[in-house]
Amino acid sequence: MSSMPRSLTIEPISGTLGAEISGVDLAKDLDDATVAAIRQAWLEHLVVFFRDQDLPPARFLAFARCFGQPIEYPFVKGLDEFPEIIPVLKLANERINFGGIWHSDTAYLDVPPMASMLVAREVPAAGGDTLFANMYLAYEALSDGMKRLLAPLRAINSSASADVSRTREDRIKDSARADARKEYTASHPIVRVHPETGRKALYVNPAHALRFSGRSEAESAPLLATLFEHQVKPEFLCRFQWRVGSLAMWDNRCTLHNPVNDYHGFRRVMHRVTLAGDRPR
Protein backbone atom coordinates (compact mmCIF):
# COMPACT_ATOMS: atom_id res chain seq x y z
CA MET A 1 0.00 0.00 0.00
CA SER A 2 2.59 2.56 -1.08
CA SER A 3 -0.15 5.11 -1.78
CA MET A 4 -1.60 4.86 1.73
CA PRO A 5 -2.13 8.31 3.27
CA ARG A 6 0.62 9.07 5.78
CA SER A 7 -1.89 9.88 8.50
CA LEU A 8 -3.29 6.33 8.55
CA THR A 9 -1.90 3.72 10.90
CA ILE A 10 -2.97 0.08 10.55
CA GLU A 11 -2.18 -2.25 13.44
CA PRO A 12 -3.24 -5.94 13.44
CA ILE A 13 -5.00 -6.97 16.67
CA SER A 14 -4.29 -10.69 16.29
CA GLY A 15 -2.29 -13.07 14.14
CA THR A 16 -5.46 -14.33 12.47
CA LEU A 17 -7.68 -11.44 11.45
CA GLY A 18 -8.61 -7.93 12.48
CA ALA A 19 -6.77 -4.61 12.41
CA GLU A 20 -7.29 -1.27 14.12
CA ILE A 21 -7.02 1.81 11.90
CA SER A 22 -6.17 5.18 13.42
CA GLY A 23 -5.38 8.62 12.06
CA VAL A 24 -8.70 9.24 10.31
CA ASP A 25 -11.89 11.10 11.24
CA LEU A 26 -14.72 9.12 9.65
CA ALA A 27 -17.18 11.99 10.11
CA LYS A 28 -15.34 14.03 7.48
CA ASP A 29 -15.51 13.62 3.72
CA LEU A 30 -12.83 11.06 2.84
CA ASP A 31 -10.68 11.38 -0.26
CA ASP A 32 -10.32 8.51 -2.72
CA ALA A 33 -6.88 7.51 -1.45
CA THR A 34 -8.12 7.14 2.12
CA VAL A 35 -11.17 5.12 1.07
CA ALA A 36 -8.96 2.86 -1.07
CA ALA A 37 -6.50 2.34 1.80
CA ILE A 38 -9.29 1.43 4.22
CA ARG A 39 -10.82 -0.98 1.71
CA GLN A 40 -7.47 -2.64 1.08
CA ALA A 41 -6.89 -3.04 4.82
CA TRP A 42 -10.40 -4.48 5.17
CA LEU A 43 -9.81 -7.02 2.39
CA GLU A 44 -6.47 -7.99 3.92
CA HIS A 45 -7.58 -8.20 7.57
CA LEU A 46 -11.29 -9.13 7.02
CA VAL A 47 -12.48 -6.84 9.82
CA VAL A 48 -11.20 -3.36 10.67
CA PHE A 49 -11.82 -1.25 13.75
CA PHE A 50 -11.80 2.45 14.46
CA ARG A 51 -11.82 4.20 17.85
CA ASP A 52 -13.24 7.48 19.16
CA GLN A 53 -15.43 8.28 16.15
CA ASP A 54 -18.21 10.89 16.48
CA LEU A 55 -20.64 9.58 13.88
CA PRO A 56 -24.25 10.78 14.08
CA PRO A 57 -26.54 8.73 11.81
CA ALA A 58 -26.20 10.95 8.73
CA ARG A 59 -22.40 10.82 8.87
CA PHE A 60 -22.44 7.10 9.62
CA LEU A 61 -24.44 6.50 6.45
CA ALA A 62 -22.18 8.80 4.45
CA PHE A 63 -19.16 6.77 5.55
CA ALA A 64 -20.91 3.50 4.74
CA ARG A 65 -21.73 4.71 1.23
CA CYS A 66 -18.02 5.11 0.54
CA PHE A 67 -17.86 1.31 0.39
CA GLY A 68 -21.21 0.18 -0.97
CA GLN A 69 -24.98 0.53 -1.03
CA PRO A 70 -26.70 0.38 2.38
CA ILE A 71 -29.65 -1.98 2.53
CA GLU A 72 -32.47 -2.43 5.03
CA TYR A 73 -32.75 -5.34 7.46
CA PRO A 74 -35.76 -7.55 6.65
CA PHE A 75 -37.16 -8.08 10.17
CA VAL A 76 -36.60 -4.94 12.26
CA LYS A 77 -37.36 -1.33 11.38
CA GLY A 78 -34.47 1.09 11.13
CA LEU A 79 -34.27 4.59 12.55
CA ASP A 80 -37.18 6.81 11.52
CA GLU A 81 -35.10 9.15 9.35
CA PHE A 82 -32.47 6.54 8.42
CA PRO A 83 -34.19 3.19 7.74
CA GLU A 84 -30.90 1.61 6.63
CA ILE A 85 -29.57 1.96 10.20
CA ILE A 86 -30.99 -0.54 12.68
CA PRO A 87 -30.52 -0.34 16.44
CA VAL A 88 -28.78 -3.41 17.84
CA LEU A 89 -29.58 -3.26 21.52
CA LYS A 90 -30.04 -5.27 24.64
CA LEU A 91 -31.89 -3.61 27.50
CA ALA A 92 -30.93 -4.05 31.15
CA ASN A 93 -33.93 -6.30 31.83
CA GLU A 94 -33.36 -8.57 28.81
CA ARG A 95 -31.47 -11.86 28.90
CA ILE A 96 -30.95 -12.63 25.21
CA ASN A 97 -28.77 -10.45 22.98
CA PHE A 98 -29.60 -9.62 19.36
CA GLY A 99 -27.76 -12.00 17.00
CA GLY A 100 -26.10 -13.82 19.89
CA ILE A 101 -24.90 -16.83 17.90
CA TRP A 102 -22.10 -17.43 15.40
CA HIS A 103 -23.31 -16.20 12.01
CA SER A 104 -22.75 -14.27 8.81
CA ASP A 105 -25.37 -11.55 8.50
CA THR A 106 -28.63 -12.54 6.75
CA ALA A 107 -27.11 -15.52 4.92
CA TYR A 108 -30.73 -16.61 4.34
CA LEU A 109 -31.12 -13.96 1.61
CA ASP A 110 -30.52 -14.88 -2.05
CA VAL A 111 -28.07 -11.98 -2.23
CA PRO A 112 -26.62 -11.59 1.27
CA PRO A 113 -24.75 -8.44 2.31
CA MET A 114 -21.13 -7.89 1.43
CA ALA A 115 -20.25 -6.04 4.61
CA SER A 116 -21.64 -4.89 7.93
CA MET A 117 -20.69 -1.87 10.03
CA LEU A 118 -21.44 -1.46 13.71
CA VAL A 119 -20.85 1.67 15.77
CA ALA A 120 -21.11 1.69 19.57
CA ARG A 121 -23.48 4.21 21.15
CA GLU A 122 -23.71 2.80 24.69
CA VAL A 123 -21.72 -0.07 26.15
CA PRO A 124 -21.57 -1.80 29.53
CA ALA A 125 -18.63 -1.10 31.83
CA ALA A 126 -17.38 -4.60 31.08
CA GLY A 127 -18.46 -7.33 28.68
CA GLY A 128 -20.28 -7.19 25.37
CA ASP A 129 -17.22 -7.93 23.24
CA THR A 130 -17.59 -9.37 19.74
CA LEU A 131 -15.74 -12.42 18.43
CA PHE A 132 -14.80 -12.75 14.76
CA ALA A 133 -13.67 -15.86 12.87
CA ASN A 134 -11.59 -16.15 9.69
CA MET A 135 -13.35 -18.43 7.17
CA TYR A 136 -10.41 -18.41 4.73
CA LEU A 137 -8.28 -20.12 7.37
CA ALA A 138 -11.14 -22.41 8.38
CA TYR A 139 -11.36 -23.65 4.80
CA GLU A 140 -7.61 -23.89 4.25
CA ALA A 141 -7.19 -25.98 7.42
CA LEU A 142 -9.53 -28.69 6.15
CA SER A 143 -8.08 -31.92 4.81
CA ASP A 144 -7.92 -32.40 1.07
CA GLY A 145 -10.54 -35.14 1.38
CA MET A 146 -12.94 -32.83 3.20
CA LYS A 147 -12.39 -30.10 0.62
CA ARG A 148 -13.33 -32.55 -2.14
CA LEU A 149 -16.43 -33.61 -0.20
CA LEU A 150 -17.60 -30.04 0.34
CA ALA A 151 -16.83 -28.71 -3.15
CA PRO A 152 -20.20 -29.60 -4.75
CA LEU A 153 -22.36 -29.10 -1.64
CA ARG A 154 -24.84 -26.32 -1.05
CA ALA A 155 -26.58 -25.39 2.20
CA ILE A 156 -30.20 -24.42 2.63
CA ASN A 157 -30.15 -21.33 4.83
CA SER A 158 -33.22 -20.19 6.74
CA SER A 159 -34.16 -17.17 8.83
CA ALA A 160 -36.48 -19.33 10.93
CA SER A 161 -33.95 -21.50 12.75
CA ALA A 162 -35.03 -21.59 16.41
CA ASP A 163 -31.57 -20.75 17.75
CA VAL A 164 -31.37 -17.49 15.80
CA SER A 165 -35.07 -16.56 15.88
CA ARG A 166 -34.96 -16.28 19.66
CA THR A 167 -32.13 -13.72 19.44
CA ARG A 168 -34.39 -11.24 17.63
CA GLU A 169 -37.59 -11.83 19.62
CA ASP A 170 -37.19 -8.78 21.88
CA ARG A 171 -36.72 -6.45 18.91
CA ILE A 172 -39.58 -8.05 16.98
CA LYS A 173 -41.83 -7.18 19.93
CA ASP A 174 -41.05 -3.46 19.81
CA SER A 175 -39.89 -2.66 16.25
CA ALA A 176 -40.94 -5.40 13.81
CA ARG A 177 -41.33 -4.55 10.13
CA ALA A 178 -44.90 -5.00 8.93
CA ASP A 179 -43.71 -6.29 5.55
CA ALA A 180 -41.37 -9.00 6.87
CA ARG A 181 -41.94 -12.52 5.59
CA LYS A 182 -42.40 -15.34 8.05
CA GLU A 183 -39.30 -17.03 6.64
CA TYR A 184 -36.55 -16.30 4.14
CA THR A 185 -34.61 -19.18 2.61
CA ALA A 186 -31.68 -19.36 0.21
CA SER A 187 -29.36 -22.01 -1.16
CA HIS A 188 -25.65 -21.13 -1.09
CA PRO A 189 -22.43 -23.04 -1.76
CA ILE A 190 -20.66 -24.35 1.34
CA VAL A 191 -17.40 -23.06 -0.14
CA ARG A 192 -17.56 -19.69 -1.85
CA VAL A 193 -14.95 -17.81 -3.85
CA HIS A 194 -14.48 -14.25 -2.67
CA PRO A 195 -15.25 -11.98 -5.65
CA GLU A 196 -12.51 -9.47 -4.80
CA THR A 197 -9.64 -11.59 -3.45
CA GLY A 198 -10.29 -14.84 -5.32
CA ARG A 199 -9.72 -16.85 -2.12
CA LYS A 200 -11.95 -19.72 -1.04
CA ALA A 201 -13.84 -19.40 2.24
CA LEU A 202 -16.05 -21.74 4.24
CA TYR A 203 -19.51 -20.21 3.85
CA VAL A 204 -21.79 -21.90 6.35
CA ASN A 205 -22.92 -20.92 9.83
CA PRO A 206 -24.86 -22.46 12.74
CA ALA A 207 -27.45 -19.68 12.87
CA HIS A 208 -28.84 -20.20 9.38
CA ALA A 209 -27.68 -23.46 7.75
CA LEU A 210 -30.42 -26.09 8.17
CA ARG A 211 -29.28 -28.85 5.86
CA PHE A 212 -27.48 -29.65 2.65
CA SER A 213 -29.40 -29.29 -0.59
CA GLY A 214 -30.87 -32.67 -1.54
CA ARG A 215 -30.41 -34.10 1.97
CA SER A 216 -32.59 -34.14 5.07
CA GLU A 217 -31.76 -32.28 8.26
CA ALA A 218 -31.00 -35.58 9.99
CA GLU A 219 -28.64 -36.66 7.20
CA SER A 220 -26.93 -33.27 7.20
CA ALA A 221 -26.55 -32.84 10.95
CA PRO A 222 -23.32 -34.80 11.60
CA LEU A 223 -21.25 -33.05 8.93
CA LEU A 224 -22.73 -29.64 9.73
CA ALA A 225 -21.89 -30.12 13.41
CA THR A 226 -18.31 -30.97 12.47
CA LEU A 227 -18.01 -27.84 10.35
CA PHE A 228 -19.58 -25.60 13.00
CA GLU A 229 -17.11 -26.82 15.62
CA HIS A 230 -14.16 -26.53 13.25
CA GLN A 231 -14.80 -23.01 11.99
CA VAL A 232 -14.63 -21.36 15.42
CA LYS A 233 -11.42 -22.92 16.69
CA PRO A 234 -9.35 -20.43 18.73
CA GLU A 235 -6.66 -20.19 16.06
CA PHE A 236 -9.20 -18.67 13.64
CA LEU A 237 -10.51 -15.97 16.03
CA CYS A 238 -10.02 -12.43 17.25
CA ARG A 239 -11.91 -10.54 19.95
CA PHE A 240 -12.85 -6.85 19.97
CA GLN A 241 -13.59 -4.85 23.10
CA TRP A 242 -15.99 -1.98 22.44
CA ARG A 243 -15.92 1.59 23.69
CA VAL A 244 -18.41 4.33 22.88
CA GLY A 245 -17.45 5.66 19.44
CA SER A 246 -15.83 2.40 18.31
CA LEU A 247 -16.71 1.21 14.81
CA ALA A 248 -16.19 -2.21 13.25
CA MET A 249 -16.50 -3.05 9.56
CA TRP A 250 -16.39 -6.73 8.62
CA ASP A 251 -16.58 -8.81 5.47
CA ASN A 252 -19.58 -11.16 5.60
CA ARG A 253 -18.20 -13.16 2.68
CA CYS A 254 -15.28 -14.58 4.65
CA THR A 255 -16.00 -14.09 8.37
CA LEU A 256 -18.38 -15.15 11.08
CA HIS A 257 -19.07 -13.09 14.20
CA ASN A 258 -20.65 -13.64 17.59
CA PRO A 259 -21.53 -10.97 20.18
CA VAL A 260 -20.73 -12.21 23.67
CA ASN A 261 -23.74 -12.13 26.02
CA ASP A 262 -21.99 -11.52 29.35
CA TYR A 263 -23.44 -8.21 30.59
CA HIS A 264 -26.87 -8.99 32.07
CA GLY A 265 -28.36 -6.01 33.90
CA PHE A 266 -26.71 -3.43 31.62
CA ARG A 267 -27.69 -1.72 28.36
CA ARG A 268 -25.73 -2.09 25.16
CA VAL A 269 -26.79 0.09 22.23
CA MET A 270 -25.21 -0.10 18.77
CA HIS A 271 -26.17 1.08 15.29
CA ARG A 272 -25.68 -1.23 12.31
CA VAL A 273 -25.54 -0.76 8.56
CA THR A 274 -25.24 -3.59 6.03
CA LEU A 275 -24.01 -3.13 2.46
CA ALA A 276 -25.42 -4.86 -0.61
CA GLY A 277 -23.43 -7.86 -1.82
CA ASP A 278 -23.45 -10.41 -4.60
CA ARG A 279 -24.82 -13.90 -5.00
CA PRO A 280 -22.33 -16.40 -3.48
CA ARG A 281 -20.49 -18.54 -6.02
Is there a catalytic annotation at residue 105? Answer: yes
Please indicate whether residue 257 is annotated as part of the active site: yes
Q: Are 268 and 128 in contact (CB under 8 A)?
A: yes
| Known catalytic membership, residue 179 | no
Q: What is the mean pLDDT of residues 121-144?
A: 98
Whether 155 is in a domain gets the answer yes
Out of 194, 253, 257, 271, which one is annotated catalytic? 257
**Structural contact between residues 38 and 115, judged by C-beta atoms closer than 8 angstroms:** no
Residue 1 has pLDDT above 70, yes or no: no
254 vs 136: CA distance, rounded Å: 6
Residue 182 domain-assigned?
yes
Mean pLDDT, rounded, for 211-239: 98
281 lies in some domain: no
Provide the domain count of the chain: 1
Average pLDDT of the chain is 95
Strand-by-strand arrangement of the 185-189 sheet: 185-189, 154-158, 209-212
Q: Quick: pLDDT tens for 162-183.
A: 677 777 776 777 777 777 788 9
**Catalytically annotated residue among 45, 188, 194, 272:** 272
Find the Cα–Cα–Cα–Cα dihedral 228, 255, 103, 155, rounded to 10°.
Answer: -60
163 in catalytic set: no
- What's 134's domain CATH number? 3.60.130.10
Whether 1 is in a domain gets the answer no
Which member of 45, 105, 188, 208 is catalytic? 105
Side by side, the strands of the sheet bearing 237-240 are: 237-240, 130-134, 255-259
pLDDT at 39 over 80: yes
Residues of the domain holding 229: 9-275
pLDDT band, very low/low/confident/very high, at 238 (cuts 50, 70, 90): very high
